[in-house]
Structure formats: structure tokens, C-alpha cells
Structure 1
Amino acid sequence: MAEHRVNRQIRAREVLLIDQNGEKRGVVPIQEALTVAQEAGLDLVEVAGNANPPVCKVLDYGKLSYQSKKKKQVAAKGKTELKEISFSMKISDHDIETKMKKARQLVEKGHKLRFNLILRGRERAYADTKGLEQLDKLTSRIADICVVEQKSKGMIGNRLYAILSPLKKVAQ
């Protein structure tokens, strides 16, 4: 949200004034609007600068900026992000456990996951069998808290992938 012009920053000569009770006062000169705001102990804030004449409200600017900041925080909190975790065909059991623990933490926070199985050299020849089998093993280890949303049918570059999204009850 763009910053609003406040009090003396408003450049228009006349404005459509809305008072602190939300009632339209009509088109008034800027000086009169500033006087009304000062008498109420509040600020004159330009809410629609592109309108003709600009629309100004009498309100507490500090409160308005605080509320808009809080709205942004709530909007940012609700967003989920796609997190990637990469595995190779030769990964050890302990490394799998470590990555699965991290994957569980991410799913519990509500993020989507992308498991990448990276195939090197001769491993690529077995992508359709052993590669998909390994990917299924990895996704089944975390199947209690998330579902497979999308899975690669074949290799893309040197990778196989699966996209997992959290179950509703876990994300809440």
C-alpha cells in the first residue's frame, strides 16, 4: 500500500471531506478540511488522490499505518512456500533420517515440499525402475502428514521429483 499524504502534504485546493464519523461533508477548501481535522485532534489523510476532487478522511494516521502494517503481516504469515529437499540414489539411512526430520518440520509449518532425486551417471539408465522406487520409498516415509500432489513420470534433466503438500489437520 502506497503511503498516504497527510495534513500539509495534500496539494489539492479543494477536497471531498469525510469526517471521523464517516459522514460526507462535501467538497470543501483544503484549509477548512485541515481546521476540521485539527479541531477533532486527528489528521487529514488523502485516501484517494487520483479522484477529482481528492477524497480525504479525518482520522488518526498512526492508527491507520499500524493497521495496514498488521494486515501485511497477516497476509505474509498465511503464504506457503515450496521448499526443496534433494536426495541421491546412494544416500545413507542416517542422511535420509536427517532429511526426513527436516521435511517434517517444514510440513508442520505448512510449507509444500519438493523431493528431488538426483541421478548421476549409470543411475540414469535405471530411472524408470529403481529411481521411481526410491522416490516412492522417500514419499511413503512422510505420507502420514502429507500427500503427493504431483510426481514426475520420467526424468527431467537428471532428476526425478515429487511435490508434497501438507494434510489440512497438520497445517493448522
Structure 2
Amino acid sequence: MAFPPRNRGVNPRFQRQVEPEHRINERIRVPQVRLVGDNVEPGVYNTQDALRIARELELDLVEISPNADPPVVKAVEYKKFLYEKKKKEKEMKANSKQSEVKEIRFTPSTDDHDFDFKSKHAEKFLKEGNKVKCYVQFRGRAIMFQDRGQVLLLKFAERLAEVGSLESLPKMEGKRMIAVFAPKVTKKK
């Protein structure tokens, strides 16, 4: 005898209604609101009067700032309002660039040519707005030459002084001596 499959979902009778992101129209339950919007006389109105004005313009009354005193509502088409809000958020996200931390590795016996090559890369990274974490890796007995590593990192800091600033002096972390550079902020005129 086969049993009917069990419905492991939630009983539809007990599902909660999804609340809209903003309170609109009759869901606004405060005595007074500050009304704003196109083709509307801005000011403080009774909620019922503001709702009547929005209905006359065939628009929705959307609460945009519930924590203000009195709460700010806007007479606007709700779907259009949500669309513009999403569009604005997407644009802001596209404009904000996440800065990365780029790493550059040296050894205590790094040659001048390698040093120049790596410093050019670091300059490029800093100009792009990224941080640069450079470190001197000590292996085996090379740990005895910590002074060489410190001199190398300070020379590197001097080389990058025009495009970046040293966040902290070189310090040892395990078998690495680390220095972090941040891009210099250029003042816009």
C-alpha cells in the first residue's frame, strides 16, 4: 500500500502575507504627514487629506521617511517609485569601486632590476586606487638578515612616495616583514 506523498512545505492557510517595502495608502496610520511630490503643494496635512489629494491625481501615497516628525510621504505611482529606487541603487553600486589589496613579494637578496620591475607594478596598482601589501619573505638562515629586509621596504616606500603613503612601518609577522601602502588621495579642483 502506497502512502500519499507528504507535503513538507508550509500549509498555505498559515503563510504570512508579504509586507510591502514601504507603507502605502491606507497602511499609513499616523494622524499627520508631510506631503511632497510633483504637482502637489508641499506641507503638513492630515493623513486622510493627503490620501484624498493623491487619489485625485490618480497616484499612491508612499511613506518615504517614517522616522521623521511628521513622517514624510510622497504622492507618486508606487511601481514607478520602486523602479527608480532600484535603478538608483544599481547605479550607486556600479559607481562604488571596491579597492583590492595587491601583494608584492621580495626576498632579502632581491636584485635592482627586480626591485624596479616590482615598484612599477606597485605604482600602477596605487594609481588604480588599490592598496599594496609588500613583504620580504625570509627562508631558512635568511632570517638573520632582517635589517636588509627593512632597508629594502623603506627604499620601496621612498620610491612610492609620490603615488602612495606608507600606512605603518615595516614589521615582522612570522617569517615575513610586511609593509602596507595606501594610494594618496588627490584633491579635485
Q: Same fold (TM over 0.5)?
A: yes
* Distance apart, 1:25 and its partner CA: 3.9
CA separation of 1:147 and 1:170: change in aligned 2, threshold 3 A: farther
Q: Does 1:148 align with 2:163?
A: no
* Distance apart, 1:67 and its partner CA: 3.9
Identity %: 26
Residue 101 of structure 2, aligned match among 83, 87, 93? 83
CA shift digits 1:138-171 (9 cap, x unpaired): 334433422333212x422222122223334499
User: Aligned AA for 1:131?
Assistant: G
Provide the C-alpha distance between the structure 1 equivalents of 2:28 and 2:41, rounded to a whole number of angstroms. 21
Which residue in 1 is equivalent to 2:13?
none
Q: Does 1:36 align with 2:45?
A: no
Provide the C-alpha distance between the structure 2 equivalents of 1:5 and 1:102, rounded to a whole number of angstroms. 49
* Contact kept? 2:28, 2:63, Cα under 8 Å: no
Provide the C-alpha distance between the structure 2 equivalents of 1:55 and 1:147, rounded to a whole number of angstroms. 45
Flag the structure with larger Rg: 2
Q: Does 1:115 align with 2:147?
A: no
Length-normalised TM-score, structure 2: 0.62
Q: Which has the higher contact order (CA 8 A, sep 6+)?
A: 1
Provide the C-alpha distance between the structure 2 equivalents of 1:148 and 1:110, rounded to a whole number of angstroms. 14
Structure 1 residue runs without a partner (length 5+): none
User: Aligned AA for 2:160?
Assistant: I
Q: Does 1:162 align with 2:179?
A: yes
Residue 103 of structure 1, aligned match among 122, 125, 131? 122
Which residue in 1 is equivalent to 2:28?
12
* Contact kept? 2:104, 2:122, Cα under 8 Å: no
Which residue in 1 is equivalent to 2:151?
133
Provide the C-alpha distance between the structure 2 equivalents of 1:149 and 1:70, rounded to a whole number of angstroms. 31
**Structure number with higher helix proportion:** 1
* Distance apart, 1:73 and its partner CA: 4.8
CA shift digits 1:34-79 (9 cap, x unpaired): 44324335442212345687542224614444445545555x34x6
RMSD value, Cα: 3.7
User: Aligned AA for 2:43?
Assistant: K
User: Aligned AA for 2:106?
Assistant: S
**Structure number with higher strand proportion:** 1
* Contact kept? 1:4, 1:46, Cα under 8 Å: no
Provide the C-alpha distance between the structure 2 equivalents of 1:108 and 1:57, rounded to a whole number of angstroms. 43
* Distance apart, 1:135 and its partner CA: 1.6
User: Aligned AA for 1:155?
Assistant: M
